[in-house]
Amino acid sequence: QVQLQESGPGLVKPSQTLSLTCTVSGGSINGDNYYWSWIRQHPGKGLEWIGYIYYSGITNYNPSLKGRITMAVDMSKNQFSLKLSSVTAADTAVYYCVRWEYGEGRPLDYWGQGTLVTVSS
Amino acid sequence: DIQMTQSPSSLSASVGDRVTITCRASQNIINYLNWYQQKPGKAPKFLIYAASSLRSGVPLRFSGSGSGTDFTLTISSLQPEDFATYYCQQSYGIPLTFGGGTKVEIK
Task: Please compute the mean of the pLDDT values over residues A55-75 and round it to a whole number.
Answer: 94
pLDDT at A104 over 90: no
Return residues 22-61 of A near B (CB < 8 Å): 37, 46-49, 60
The pLDDT of residue A92: 98
Q: In a mutagenesis test of the B interface, which of A34, A106, A113 is the best target, namely the one with the most B β-carbons within 10 Å?
A: A106
Q: Is the pLDDT of residue A27 over 90?
A: yes
**pLDDT over 80 (residue A66):** no
Q: Which of B2, B15, B7 minimizes the C-alpha distance to B87?
A: B7
Note the pLDDT of residue A91: 97
Q: What is the pLDDT along chain B (107 residues), one digit of tens a residue?
A: 999 999 999 999 999 999 999 999 999 999 999 999 999 999 999 999 999 999 999 999 999 999 999 999 999 999 999 999 999 999 999 999 999 999 999 88
Confidence of residue A55 (pLDDT cuts 50, 70, 90): very high
Q: What is the arithmetic mean of pLDDT over A86-101?
A: 97
The partner residue sitting opposite A49, judged by closest CB among B44, B51, B96, is B96
Q: With cut-offs at 50, 70 and 90, classify the pLDDT of residue A60.
A: very high
Chain B residues with beta carbon closer than 8 angstroms to that of A60: 94
CA distance B93 to B107: 37
| Long-range CB contact pairs, A46-55, < 8 A, 24+ | A46/B87, A46/B98, A46/B99, A46/B100, A46/B101, A47/B44, A47/B87, A47/B89, A47/B98, A48/A93, A48/B98, A49/B95, A49/B96, A49/B97, A49/B98, A50/A82, A50/A84, A50/A95, A52/A100, A53/A80, A55/A29, A55/A30, A55/A31
Burial of B6 (0-12, 13-18, 19+ CB in 10 A): buried
* Per-residue confidence (pLDDT) for residue A31, from 0 to 100: 85
pLDDT at residue A95 is higher than 80: yes
State yes or no: pLDDT of A103 exceeds 90: no
Mean pLDDT of A71-94: 97
pLDDT beyond 80 at A71:
yes
Which among B49, B55, B98 has the least Cβ separation from residue A46? Answer: B98
Contact A108 B53 (CB under 8 A): no
Is the four-CA dihedral A7, B41, B85, B45 of positive or negative sign? positive
